[in-house]
Amino acid sequence: MTVLELEDVNGYYGNSHVLFDLSLSVEENDIVTLLGRNGAGKSSTLRAITGTIPRREGLIEYRGTDIVGRSIDAISNMGVKLVPEDRRIFPTLTVHENLLIAHDACDDPRDVEEMYDIFPALDPHRRSAGRNLSGGEQQMLSVARALVQDPDLLLLDEPTEGLAPVIVENLREVLTDVVAQDVTVLLTEQNVSFALDLAERGYIIEKGANVWEGSIDELRKRDDLLDEYLSVSVSEAD
């Protein structure tokens, strides 16, 4: 079943045209990745889905319902949760307080204690302020805040940025487990190896438009695409 469908979507920040007739689809329990250089339009695509781009045109359907024009809160309440690139945890609140706020904002949340099972590295920091966490711990907390709200579609914007390799590997395992719990994932990612290992299908975006779509197995064979749009080789992607 198709969870998310974008068809000929255009997005604008004021007079700046940032998305150009962009189309993509995400099937239930898929992990789909959006690839491209910095500034290609990947984050803008997620913002168009969540309603944070001021002006959108085209079709954006979530489980068959057109969500263009709906408020950010309405889209979130439908089950679409975004983990933003800048994490946006509450720096002066503790880890546990951050989770409780997300928990209490949801009509049908998951148990907060489940988050400590999923992210055991957060457990010793229950009483630590968010600003005192490492970058990896802050990213775990950001993902945990989204998961505690029991998302149907999880949007991840550059989840591995600035993370140590061991944390990246831990995040990969967590996201694999998340999909096994009936969560569909759409992520943007600069770490091509991470994205290709995790995802099943992918899109390459350049200057706000699709330039390629297909399976990850296909993409691994396309050294020309990896080099032209992502500046990596097949060996580096592996």
Q: What is the pLDDT of residues 165-207, one digit of tens each?
A: 888 888 888 888 888 888 999 999 989 999 999 999 999 999 9
What pLDDT is stored for residue 95 in this prediction? 98
What pLDDT is stored for residue 161 in this prediction? 87
Cα(10)–Cα(133) distance, integer angstroms: 38
79-83: average pLDDT: 94
Q: Is residue 59 part of a domain?
A: yes
pTM summary value: 0.92
Give 54-67 pLDDT, tens digit per residue.
Answer: 889 999 999 999 99
Q: How many domains in the chain? A: 1
37 and 206 Cβ atoms separated by less than 8 Å: yes
14 and 37 Cβ atoms separated by less than 8 Å: no
Q: Is residue 45 part of a domain?
A: yes
Q: Is residue 118 part of a domain?
A: no
pLDDT at 40 over 70: yes
33 and 187 Cβ atoms separated by less than 8 Å: yes
pLDDT above 90 covers a percentage of the chain that reads: 78
201 and 213 Cβ atoms separated by less than 8 Å: yes
What pLDDT is stored for residue 238 in this prediction? 62
pLDDT at 93 over 90: yes
The DSSP secondary-structure symbol of 152 reads: S
> Which token pair is 230?
């992502």
Q: Which domain holds residue 219?
A: 1-78+184-238
Q: Is residue 124 part of a domain?
A: no
- Give the CATH number, domain containing residue 228: 3.40.50.300
Q: Is residue 28 part of a domain?
A: yes
Q: Is residue 21 part of a domain?
A: yes
pLDDT at 94 over 90: yes
